[in-house]
Amino acid sequence: MNPLKKLFKQTFVYGLATVLPRMLSFILVPLYTSVMAPGLYGKVSVIFAWFAIFNVVLAYGMETAFFRFYSKSNEKNTVVSTSLISIVITTAVFVCIAFLFFGSLSQFLEIDKKYLGYVISILALDAIVVIPFAWLRANEKPMKYAIIKILNVGINLGLNVLFLLLLPMLFNENPDGILSNLYKSNFQISYIFISNVIASGITFLLMSELYRKTKWVFDKVLWNSMMKYAMPVMVAGIAFSINEVFDRVLLEKLLPEDVSETKVGMYSACYKIALFMTLFATAFRMGIEPFFFSHSTSENPQKAYAQITNYFVVLGSVILLSVVVYADVLKTIIVRDPAYWEAMSIVPIIVLASFFLGIYHNLSVWYKVTDRTKFGAYISIIGAILTIVINIVFIKYFEYMASAVATLVAYGTMMFLSFYFGRKYYPIPYNFRKIGFYLALSISFSAIAFYGFNRNLIVGNILLAIFLVLLYKLENDNLRKVFLKNGNKNN
């Protein structure tokens, strides 16, 4: 099968593993926003922001290091067992320290003690399945990966619906019923985390096969090499998490106390509308990361990398314009309570920022395949500094709009820096004219539809139609070559 066709096939399956669960989780946004006021939802959003940061710390770049060393090693079992032992030990140490300093951790993170135990449990369970999931991707088992990911979110979703919707309904109808005894009033946040603990626990049980069948060997020399590779990835991951979620923490801390959690709730809810671009970029990255490593030693891999980036920009431009044009339609589906809609002005900015981030991930191939992961750390740190500085300086004047612009500036800067250094250390023949054309046109049409015509759906549809016609005229032959002609030659 043609390598690019195989890539897109795997990306589609990984897309199901990423997009379908997230699409199911969209139900949680209207559910949460219907049972919780913006302030309470803001509190949940801040806790989930800490989740994102600690997930990176507990994985400490070992997933990417695993891909790199597993793909080029003849002793694959040693790579697997060394990685598993490392993750298990560091997770155990984290759990011990977290419970030993429980009160101090609760105070530092400003997370109520009644929620912190759930948070620690979820973080630990998620950490110890990092390598098993990476093993599935490295061995090209996207279907199993997708099924378990979807099942995880399905369980989480079902339990959230049970706890937040059905139990209160049953209690109101029959307070003395059997299931009604499980219901507690004002217990929404705990129910959310209990659902996560159960889903993560079942996921671990399903992924534990790799632990059982692995022949346990710990190679200290290999581990040192993996850690040397992984540490810059971890630093980059932490910086990336700061770019992605730390604005919620800063909004809560820097806005007046009487409105901070409400503003965070509005911002976080409307931020979800931009998730379509994040889903696409994540699914694409899940497919291309193993591809990058497995084809790094092939003949002229740069040409394939350039084609992949071209296709990403083409498809991403369509998603950017579509989400912006239909933002008002999406908000009635995803964020049903009008109390949250005040923050809708952030949507085009966040969608574009996510697009830039996706392009950055495509451009980042150069430092991954040349083992210059420290550049990824440097670039992400610069993005994190921009995020923090812009938020601290401007939140008091522009509230959540400052956070949205900070995200766009950070990801845009990271994208340009990665391109600049990549051109120096690992030149890739990108089609700048095509990339620039689609970026400029989709951004211009988005701005015209959303800001210029105040989200007028008729104007937006006309602009989207013009864009799609141009896309068809310019790209139809190229896409057919990838998905049809090359595939027929090899089948």
pLDDT score, position 297: 62
387 closest CA partner among 406, 401, 405: 406
Distances (CA, A) of 2 to 61, 136, 268, 305, 385: 30, 21, 41, 14, 42
Distance between CA atoms of residues 477 and 244, nearest Å: 37
CB atoms within 10 A of CB 410: 30
Work out the burial of residue 476: count CB atoms within 10 Å of its CB; fewer than 13 is exposed, 13-18 middle, 19 or more buried.
exposed
275 closest CA partner among 234, 333, 233: 333
CB atoms within 10 A of CB 179: 12
Is the Cβ–Cβ distance between 407 and 423 less than 8 Å?
no
Distance between CA atoms of residues 439 and 248, nearest Å: 28
Tell me how far apart the terminal alpha carbons of the chain are, to the nearest angstrom.
Answer: 7
User: For 325, left (φ over 0), alpha (ψ -120 to 50), or beta?
Assistant: alpha
Is the Cβ–Cβ distance between 2 and 486 less than 8 Å?
yes
Distance between CA atoms of residues 34 and 19, nearest Å: 23
* Digitized pLDDT (tens) for each residue of the chain, 491 residues in all: 455 555 556 556 665 666 666 665 667 888 888 888 888 888 898 898 899 899 999 999 898 889 888 877 788 889 999 999 999 999 999 999 999 999 999 998 889 999 999 999 999 999 999 999 989 888 878 788 888 988 998 899 999 999 998 888 888 888 777 766 778 888 889 999 999 999 999 999 999 999 999 889 999 999 999 998 888 888 888 887 888 888 999 998 899 988 888 999 999 999 988 888 887 887 777 666 666 666 656 667 788 788 888 889 999 999 999 999 999 999 888 888 888 999 999 999 999 999 999 999 888 888 877 878 788 888 989 999 999 999 999 999 999 999 999 999 999 999 999 999 988 888 888 888 989 999 999 999 999 999 999 999 999 999 999 999 999 888 877 666 655 544 444 44
User: For 371, left (φ over 0), alpha (ψ -120 to 50), or beta?
Assistant: left
Backbone torsions φ then ψ of 37, nearest 5 degrees: -70, 160
Is the Cβ–Cβ distance between 148 and 203 less than 8 Å?
yes
The amino acid at residue 114 is K
Residue carrying structure tokens 């497919």: 287
pLDDT score, position 73: 76
pLDDT score, position 275: 81
Distance between CA atoms of residues 344 and 351, nearest Å: 12
Distances (CA, A) of 237 to 12, 37, 310, 324, 361: 25, 32, 25, 28, 12
Is the Cβ–Cβ distance between 338 and 461 less than 8 Å?
no
Distance between CA atoms of residues 403 and 44, nearest Å: 18
Distance between CA atoms of residues 159 and 192, nearest Å: 8
